[in-house]
Chains A and B, each alone.
Chain A
Amino acid sequence: NAGVMQNPRHLVRRRGQEARLRCSPMKGHSHVYWYRQLPEEGLKFMVYLQKENIIDESGMPKERFSAEFPKEGPSILRIQQVVRGDSAAYFCASSLGQGGVTGELFFGEGSRLTVL
């Protein structure tokens, strides 16, 4: 059973470009979370999704950022018109959701975005 798969692992963008980060949850997992981590800092919650539904996007900036988890395919975190402050590691995690006994999260390896 493959773990949570994120790609790309490293992404370099120039200011003003778009960044798309993809996350395929573990098999059987229906909940996906995105967290942002700046160097030497903690995991900041961005968004929590189920298939075709955004459950909680309270941690996501209102502008330039969007996330989706379509019925088919990976979850995508999209950052438009990137700025240097968007440079960070973006971690995706998945969980079983309401079918799970616990809320254990399984993390991907992260996507490291560098904005030049």
Chain B
Amino acid sequence: GENVEQHPSTLSVQEGDSAVIKCTYSDSASNYFPWYKQELGKRPQLIIDIRSNVGEKKDQRIAVTLNKTAKHFSLHITETQPEDSAVYFCAASRAGGYQKVTFGTGTKLQVIP
């Protein structure tokens, strides 16, 4: 089955700096890669996703890149703000068919004001 590894497990940045979280996946058939943000005590919520036919996607301060050959994808947050502090999970799945979603182990991001 799919295996998703995520690094780092914790990340502290100064407000205004950038944060990068990296994930690798094992199943070459995976074609959908979402990122979820989970604030303390809350449910995970989708913040951005990318499909395998795209190499990069941006949404304001958030961007995701995908390297299918190397089977890795990354989340980039620029101009970090205290409200970005949360746990971020990457995930991989095969959209459209058997859709089991496998999550990474999470990255706890702390943005220091």
Contacts and interface: CB of A to CB of B under 8 A. Distances in A.
A89 B36 CA distance: 17
Interface stretch (B14-22, B43-51, B60-68, B78-86): B43-51
**Interface of B (DSSP majority class):** loop
Q: Give the one of A95, A101, A104, A106 with max B CB within 10 A.
A: A104
A95 B96 CA distance: 11
A48 interface: yes
B43 A109 contact: yes
B73 interface: no
A31 B105 contact: no
Contacts of B98: 55-56
B46 A105 contact: yes
A45 interface: yes
Contacts of B51: 102
B93 to A, nearest CB: 4
Contacts, number: 68
Interface in A86-116: 91, 93, 95, 97-98, 100-110
Given A33-B101, A43-B89, A45-B100, A103 B44 contact: no
A42 interface: yes
A41 B108 CA distance: 10
A92 B102 CA distance: 14
A6 B46 CA distance: 18
Interface string A22-56: 00000000010101000001110100100000011
A1 interface: no
Nearest to A99: B96
Q: Give the one of B97, B99, B106 with max A CB within 10 A.
A: B99
Q: Give the one of B36, B96, B100 with max A CB within 10 A.
A: B100
Given A42-B104, A42-B106, A102-B51, A107 B99 contact: no
Contacts of B46: 104-106
A102 B95 CA distance: 5
A56 B36 CA distance: 22
Nearest to B108: A40
